[in-house]
Amino acid sequence: MHISKSLKIIFAGTSYFSSKFLNILLHSQHIVAGILTQPDRASGRGQQIHESPIKKIAKNYNIPIFQPFSSKDLDNIIDVLKLINCDIILVIAYKIVLSKKILSLPKLGCINLHGSLLPRWRGSSPVHRAIQFGDKKTGITFIKMDEGIDTGPILYTCKCNITNFDTTETLLNKLYKIGKCAIIKVLYKLSIGNFHLYPQNNLLATYAKKINKNEAKIDWKIPAIQLERNIRAFNPWPISYFWISQTYVKIWKAKTDKNNIFFHSPGEILKINSHGVYISTSQGILILQILQLSGRKKNFIKESWHTYRKLFIPGNFLL
């Protein structure tokens, strides 16, 4: 039986998803000796400056924090990072490309946990795109990073199913549940030198381009089945939306009406009842179930029946 050793790790991440894995490492035998995370950003209505979830945790544990703005800025602190003398750099949703200099810095290389079954959905938004394109399964992949975008050889994979009800939020939770055990297993293999790397099949590669807020605007000329997928993919961000009577409305949940096959003009309000608002698309009907009017809380149609009934008048059109 191999006895594992503690690995000295520089952790690179920014999102809430990556912060959950940082917490696992902080309660393991391994040593998190440095943190790479995105610079503090202004966000929200007041454009207040916010720290990343990773930075907040690192401050509580007094771990050295580095916040370069770009790959070039990261290269400029390489001498400081060398002093840490880390075994690996572990990257989870960091969003800054690592240069060849940085990739060759750790003794065991840079390891990335990616939220798809590579080579499918390389890129920055793999979870969103998997839902949007109707994939039935996904998972996590650990790779040893190279200079390409998610092109490095595969160290470990673990699969999970995507249901017809999964949103990006619920799917990220699934990936965390399978990832929290996998990450300890992968670090164990690395610590004892008992691992194998497998090249990716580039012929099967697809690319998950970064989510753009403009994509969330509903186009009623798109078939209902695709709109329903988009709504789930863009939940909890950036949230699908439309306009009606100069009112901005977010869609948190919808479903397709498989019973009605009659043709109506895309965007036409057909009816409203306790089940939702029935909207015609280029192909099929979309039933809006949970909405959020500008400045209000999200709720089911039946919970604000009088408000929605006055807003969604059959025969009118959504923009």
pLDDT (tens digit per residue) in 5-18:
899 999 999 999 99
Confirm whether residue 199 is marked as ligand binding.
Answer: no
19 labeled part of a ligand binding site: no
- 118 assigned ligand-binding residue: yes
Give tens-digit pLDDT for 234-277.
Answer: 999 999 999 998 899 999 999 998 776 667 899 999 999 999 99
Using CA of residue 104, residue 109, residue 111, residue 117, what is the dihedral sign? positive
- pTM, to two decimals: 0.94
Q: Coil, strand or helix: which one is 2?
A: coil
In DSSP terms, 31 is beta-bridged to 8
* Cα separation, 74 vs 82, whole angstroms: 12
Mean pLDDT of 278-289: 94
What's the CA angle centered on 156, arms 141 and 180, to 5 degrees?
70
Give the chain's domains with CATH numbers.
Answer: 8-208 (3.40.50.170), 213-311 (3.10.25.10)
Residues 140, 179 contacting (CB under 8 angstroms): yes
Compute the distance between CA of residue 194 and CA of residue 188 in angstroms, rounded to an integer.
8
Determine whether the annotation assigns residue 172 to a binding site. Answer: no
Over the stretch 138-190, which tens digit does the pLDDT of each residue have? 999 999 999 999 999 999 999 999 999 999 999 999 999 999 999 999 999 99
